[in-house]
Structure 1
Amino acid sequence: MTSTHFTQDLINSFRDDPSLDEQTKAVVMRNLARLKETKVNILVTGATGCGKSSTINALFNSDKAKVGQGVDPETMDITKYELDNIVLFDSPGLGDGKEADQRHAKNIISKLYEKDASGEPLIDLVLVLLDGSSRDLGTSFELINSVIIPNLGEDQNRLLIAINQADVAMKGRYWDAERMQPQPELIKFLDDKVESTRRRIKEATGVDVEPIYYSAGYKDGDQQQQPYNLSKLLAFILRHTKKEKRAVFAQDINNDQKVWKHDDGLHDYRAEIRKSFLESVADGAMAGAAIGAQLFGPVGAKIGGVIGAAWGGLKSFFS
């Protein structure tokens, strides 16, 4: 089973489970059907060369993406990629010249104020990527401090800042390519960059952010360089996404186990991802239904067989 079938397998499992009464089953099925149709809209932005495409390709089954652009000529700089449940809006950052920067800023602000059918902000998450190999991040801070944060509204949790290309942050020095991880000298450099980013944004805007660093990986000839801290990036993306929507990522995540393998070891990010998915599914399925503890025990405890049957295939990606 692949992640693409996760939500449908959940629906099938609940439909066929004999332990549920028909009223509860109907509520659960309705809730899961709604979950299946739920979209998460992510605005991805950053300066040219920060690795937006490689990040999208590493995180998601992006080869299935339908690519289109807005019909409004004023927003043609923002490219829209539609997966099963994830919708990505890829916007240029600043740094393309004064006229282009003004256009990009206007388009980003317009997208941040766009509403969905229920009147809520369309964009669930703004993912700003910084180039870890660049010493000049002034235009990126201008984008964050002057364009994005002032137009986020009350929900500042919609912003996640991630520093890509950790492997070349010191021109490739102190990167252990065989073990796919930074050596102590590089770790200190990256930690300092994270702290500097956090401090500069706090001083400029008063907003607390928690940047992370990672490497999306890249293709060098025929050899694929695997990502580093991609599981951390996904875990943080889920943290910054509303709980009721987190489960829908399961439809579109990259099902290549290798891309999730290497991380900083400071936390069990893959366990956090599993927990985020399961909590989201459990909350969504139980909404308005008196299912009881026979199916959903406390968080962290064994989930009942109904979810477990559908979860088996996806769980292996993060085991």
Structure 2
Amino acid sequence: MKNNQEFINKMEHDIESSALPEAIKRKLIANLLLLKGRKVNLLITGATGCGKSSTINALFDADVSKVGVGVDPETMDIERYELGNLILWDSPGLGDGKEADNRHARNLTKKLLERDSDGNPLIDLVLVILDGSSRDMGTSFELISNVIVPNLGEDKGRILVAVNQADMAMKGRGWDRENNKPEPELESFLEEKVESVKRRIKESTGVDVDPIYYSAGYKDGDKPQRPYNLTKLLYQIIHYTPKEKRTIYVNNINRKREMWKDDDELKDYRNSIMDDIAESISECADIGADVGESLGSCFGSFGRAVGRFGGRIIGGAFGAIKSCVKSVFGGLFGW
């Protein structure tokens, strides 16, 4: 599928051809129609060398040298990449000198304060990438404390923090290259690092964040290193994106299966991603408890009664939607 509308069209077809009651079909399809025209604006920032471009390429298989488009001259330092309904904003962080830092801060502030046609903040989510190979993160904390958080408005949950280059956190020591994961000593070091980041941000801004560590991967000569915890990063991005926009990521995710092979084992991020996307579609369906759990059989092999959100049982309809989402992700995640 090439774009968000194709994914929505497939979902609409599956709903229309099902044996669901007409009233429920109408509710689900009305919600799908709302999703067609939506866009996600994801702003990615971090100090020079933190790996923003490699992260974009890993997540979305986007050649940033080819998809960049022009931006407002007043924010010319911020690169805009348009991938269908997904808009990526690549903003320089601080650390390029006092004059450049002041310019970057002004431009970033302007973008964070920008509103869409409905009067809502244009930027749905800010991803701040930290350099895991560096001990000095002072400029990144300054960026978060003095520029990003003060300009998020009331919704302080629009910020994610991720530590890239986890494999180089101890100058390359402790990384199991054969299995592409940290050894116990490095894993402990990384856990302490993200806890330190979380604590420092809380102390300086009062905002709770849940940082993760990952590696976007790279090429070592002709031999590429696969990413690590990329699925976990994708889950965080989707989870903290407004529910009504989560489906937009479906058709932009990197289709190379090897990119998603290696993660920690703390959570089933793949199923969690599908839960969040299915919830996005079913959130406004408002299916009552009296019909919820009886709907699974209407979809035959696609349906099963699962899920409770906000006290509303959406049972089989949610299960059917999740199964359809799973069919889209099947090849990607190896199902």
How far apart are 1:12 and its partner, in Å?
A: 2.3
Are the equivalent residues in 1 in contact too, given 2:239–2:273 (CA < 8 A)? no
Structure number with the bigger relative contact order (C-alpha 8 A, sep ≥ 6) is 1
Q: State the partner residue of 1:315.
A: 330
Does the C-alpha gap of structure 1 residues 29 and 131 become closer, same or farther in structure 2, counting only changes over 3 Å? same
1:290, 1:192 → 2: CA distance?
Answer: 45
In structure 2, what is the equivalent of residue 298 of structure 1?
306
Q: Which residue of structure 2 lines up, in the alignment, with residue 168 of structure 1?
A: 168
- Aligned partners of 2:205 and 2:69: how far apart in 1? 34
**Would the aligned equivalents of 1:2 and 1:255 in 2 still touch at CA under 8 Å?**
no
Counterpart position of 1:108: 108
Cα separation, 2, equivalents of 1:136 and 1:151 = 24
CA contact (8 A) 2:275 2:322 kept: no
Whole-angstrom distance in 2 between the partners of 1:11 and 1:306: 10
2:278 maps to 278
Count of aligned pairs between the two proteins: 316
Residues 127-176 of structure 1: per-residue CA shift (max 9 Å, x gap)? 00000001111111110111111111111110000000001111111000
1:74 shift after superposition? 1.5
Q: Which amino acid aligns with 1:58?
A: A
1:124 matched to 2:124? The reply is yes
> Does the aligned pair in 2 maintain the 1:39–1:86 contact within 8 Å?
yes
In the aligned structure 1, how far is the partner of 2:27 from the partner of 2:239? Answer: 27
Secondary structure, in 3 states, of the residue corresponding to 2:50? coil
**1:231/1:270 contact within 8 Å kept:** yes
Q: Is 1:16–2:17 an aligned residue pair?
A: yes
Q: Counterparts of 1:120 and 1:315 in 2: how far apart (Å)?
A: 35
Moved more, 123-132 or 290-299: 290-299
- The corresponding residue for 1:48 is 48
SS at match of 2:283: helix
Q: Tell whether 2:96 aligns with 1:88.
A: no
Distance in 2 between residues matched to 1:200 and 1:256, nearest whole Å: 36
Structure 1 gaps, min length 5: none
Seen in structure 2, the aligned counterparts of structure 1 residues 73 and 50 have a Cα distance that, compared at 3 Å, is same
1:236-283 Cα offsets, whole Å, 9 max, x none, are 112221222222211211122221111111111112111111111222
Cα deviation code 1:219-249 (max 9, x no counterpart): 2233221110011111111222122222221
| 2:21 is the alignment partner of 1:6 | no
| Equivalent pair of 1:24/1:289 in contact (CA under 8 Å) | no
Q: Which amino acid aligns with 1:253?
A: I
- How far apart in 2 are the matches of 1:314 and 1:89? 26
**Cross-structure match for 2:311:** none
Q: 1:198 aligns to what?
A: 198
Give the secondary-structure state (helix, strand or coil) at the position aligned to 1:106: helix
Aligned equivalent of 1:75: 75
Cα separation, partners in 2 of 1:191 and 1:9, compared to 1, 3 Å: same
Per-residue deviation, 1:26 = 4.5
Q: CA deviation at 1:306?
A: 6.3
Deviations 1:85-116 (A, max 9, x none): 21100000001111110110001111111111
Structure 1 position 18, deviation (Å): 5.1
Distance 1:228 1:287 in 2: 38
CA distance in 1, matches of 2:290, 2:122: 32
Secondary structure, counterpart of 2:126 in structure 1: strand
Sequence identity percentage: 53
The residue type paired with residue 67 of structure 2 is K
State the match for 2:256 in structure 1.
256
For the 8 Å contact 1:3–1:313, the answer to whether it is kept is no
Separation in 2, partners of 1:59, 1:208: 25
The CA distance in 2 between the partners of 1:310 and 1:193, in whole Å, is 35
Structure 2: state its 5+ residue gaps.
297-303, 309-314
Output the TM-score relative to the length of structure 2: 0.86
- The alpha-carbon deviation at position 19 of structure 1 amounts to 4.1
| Change beyond 3 A, Cα 1:307–1:228 | closer
Partner of 2:228: 228
